Structure 1
Amino acid sequence: MSSHHLDQQIVSVKPITVPAPGRSLDLLVKVTAPLSGQNLPVIVFSHGNAWSLDGYEPLVDRWAAAGFVVVQPTHLDSRRNGIGFDDPRFATIWRVRIADLHAVLDGLDDILLQAGGLETRVDRERIAIVGHSWGAQTAGAMLGARVLDADGIPGEDFSHSAVGAGVLIAATGTGDTLTPFAAEHLPFMRPHYSTMTTPAMVIAGGRDQSQLSTRGPEWFTDAYHLSPSPKSLLAIAEGEHTLGGIAGEMAAETTDEDPTRVALVADAISAYLFNAFNLNDAAWTDLNSAAAAGDGTWAISSK
């Protein structure tokens, strides 16, 4: 694999329509990729609540410059669809989100073909799922996490055989401490992580105080602590829910604007995935060394 640098030119193609039978609206994706390079690994990215294929440029552009092909669907909960908590469709959106990712993986060849002939430049053996917030729960399901029903029984297995690794950014923890609002409107927010066997990194902010749980920021580390190895945890002490603004610069919900933190998140994910995919372990080794030698503003644990 040729080396890529952050001055690497990238290109995006949007929108591409993906076949998704039974979906109330067309499934659209954006593909971002480096202009050159072969055998490129793939990241399929699931956005947080209300975002779209146009969000998360600060992450996606760095991943593409580092040598990934990134595919971003717009889920039904996007602001552009206007489906609120009181819409009858809302209760099943969590399932449609997972179905969206399956549709992207199952339709990947055609997506790559429509994205400017990328089908000859991608390594289909190296596909990762990454998600933020609600997208992290969606991604977790693709890695083997289940959703507990009202009786505490784990639901179906939504994992996909094409997924070799994943990253969960600000993933919600267990559902036993949901606030009344969350329990009423987000009953699916009861993840069960003991079956999440796919290698993954969890990223959590030490100042991420959720309005959906009565627990503190450590709620966002459950995905690491409660899932089987191999797993890694990147803990960012001052990080809030958007970890410096990963969804976009100057976005309304970004309350801890910090471009350096965003770059850390992006580059840590690239480093983790290159290592997980046995492409290059140098950046991951360097990151772990930097964490160990650092001032404690961020730390990495692995098991």
Structure 2
Amino acid sequence: MPESTSANAQKTADAPTTVISARPVVLPVADREEDLQVRVSAPAAGGNLPVIVFSHGFGASMNDYAPLADHWAAHGFAVLQPTHLDSRTLGLPAEDPRTPHIWRLRIQDLTHVLNGLDILEAAVPGLGGRLDRTRIAVAGHSWGAQTASTLLGARVLDSHGVPGEDMSDPRVTAGVLFALTGLGNDLTPFAAENFPFMKPSFDTMTTPALIVAGDNDQSALSTRGPDWFTDPYTLSPGSKSLLTLIGAEHSLGGISGYKVTETTDENPERVALIQQLTTAFLHTTLNPDDTSWQSAITALEENPDLLGKLQNK
């Protein structure tokens, strides 16, 4: 049995944890036309590290989402962040023949990372032999959340409403999905025409997951209000939790980076809550003997300065 994750969490609460981070770690991918670049972050010491594979939002890269990656790595996780082909850092032309298929290539990127754990582990000095391949989670924000959700069992509907192929991965046993878009029949005409892949079905998304939504997240792609982002919780079966953040917009207070200009609702306290709750959820879901999640739920319920509300099913 690996060392208790609650014990690890207590250590990090008592003293700063040294984190190592390497980028880019390159994964050769023959059918992608260019290799996959990944950022790897992990605590400098300790073994049996559970793994989080994180999918960034549109245009971002492995260099973003430091408030999440830094915190998770400091609390005992190995965090793997691939850079997808839509990243502004790659500058893929709109006319590139791969562009219409990036949504699918994104999913394949996450699978490539899982298939390449040996390469990633060996490429980072001091990381060899420290990853726990029996405890793997996926996470993502916005488009990245849709990407990650498919490995949890969500599927994309075709133009006739028929679910596409099952791209779930049995190696993944937990997920955290930030600002995941809802049903495709609520898209604006522009979104329906330009983003045909934004037609998810959550009927088979059975893997345990924490859905994080902002109650002030009004998407320009949806004809509905912020409740659109709660569909993944409401419409998926199995063990799910929904964290609804009070006053949060699409950046959820600033998870995409420290003081980034795209954050319209900067709120360090909200980001801190996200850090704490996602860490506790993942520790407990990946190791049922850990009690971090129940402790975090109790702390949230007892907090007089309400930043969010939590639902479980």
TM-score (norm 1): 0.96
1:53 aligns with 2:57: no
1:63 is aligned to 72
Equivalent residue for 1:298, pick from 262, 286, 308: 308
- Three-state SS of the structure 1 residue aligned to 2:128 is helix
What amino acid is the match of 2:244? Answer: A
Report matched runs for 1:69-80 at 5 Å: 69-80=78-89
More deviation in 6-15 or 83-92? 83-92
What amino acid is the match of 1:157? Answer: D
1:91 aligns with 2:100: yes
- Three-state SS of the structure 1 residue aligned to 2:271 is helix
Unaligned runs of at least 5 residues, structure 1: none
What amino acid is the match of 1:191? Answer: P
Q: What is the total number of aligned residue pairs between the two structures?
A: 303
1:257 aligns with 2:291: no
Residue 179 of structure 1 deviates from its aligned partner by 1.2
- Three-state SS of the structure 2 residue aligned to 1:31 is strand
- Three-state SS of the structure 2 residue aligned to 1:208 is coil
| Cα distance in 2 between the residues matched to 1:25 and 1:180 | 34
| Cα distance in 2 between the residues matched to 1:254 and 1:61 | 18
What amino acid is the match of 2:308? Answer: W
- Three-state SS of the structure 1 residue aligned to 2:216 is coil
Equivalent residue for 2:194, pick from 176, 185, 189: 185
- Three-state SS of the structure 2 residue aligned to 1:110 is helix
> 1:204·1:233 contact (CA, 8 Å) conserved in 2?
yes
Specify whether residues 40 and 279 from structure 1 end up closer, same or farther in structure 2 by C-alpha distance, changes over 3 A only. Answer: farther
Residue 80 of structure 1 deviates from its aligned partner by 1.3
- Three-state SS of the structure 2 residue aligned to 1:159 is coil
2:119 is aligned to 110
More deviation in 255-264 or 131-140? 255-264
- Three-state SS of the structure 1 residue aligned to 2:261 is coil
| Cα distance in 2 between the residues matched to 1:283 and 1:108 | 27
1:277 is aligned to 286
- Three-state SS of the structure 2 residue aligned to 1:5 is helix
Residue 89 of structure 1 deviates from its aligned partner by 2.5
Residue 278 of structure 1 deviates from its aligned partner by 1.9
> 1:91·1:185 contact (CA, 8 Å) conserved in 2?
no
- Three-state SS of the structure 2 residue aligned to 1:81 is coil
| Cα distance in 2 between the residues matched to 1:184 and 1:266 | 36
Paired-residue identity, %: 52
- Three-state SS of the structure 1 residue aligned to 2:120 is helix
Report matched runs for 1:133-282 at 5 Å: 133-278=142-287, 281-282=290-291
| Cα distance in 2 between the residues matched to 1:104 and 1:71 | 8
| Cα distance in 2 between the residues matched to 1:96 and 1:252 | 28
Specify whether residues 34 and 184 from structure 1 end up closer, same or farther in structure 2 by C-alpha distance, changes over 3 A only. Answer: same
TM-score (norm 2): 0.93
- Three-state SS of the structure 1 residue aligned to 2:32 is coil
What amino acid is the match of 1:301? Answer: Q
- Three-state SS of the structure 2 residue aligned to 1:80 is coil
Q: What do residues 155-205 of structure 1 show as CA deviations (whole Å, max 9, x unaligned)?
A: 001111211111111001000011122112111001100100111110001
What amino acid is the match of 1:241? Answer: H
Q: What do residues 242-292 of structure 1 show as CA deviations (whole Å, max 9, x unaligned)?
A: 111111122221001111211211221110011101255332112211222
| Cα distance in 1 between the residues matched to 2:292 and 2:33 | 42
- Three-state SS of the structure 2 residue aligned to 1:42 is strand
Specify whether residues 86 and 177 from structure 1 end up closer, same or farther in structure 2 by C-alpha distance, changes over 3 A only. Answer: farther
Residue 85 of structure 1 deviates from its aligned partner by 5.3
Residue 38 of structure 1 deviates from its aligned partner by 1.2
What amino acid is the match of 2:26? Answer: T
> 1:63·1:267 contact (CA, 8 Å) conserved in 2?
no
What amino acid is the match of 1:206? Answer: D
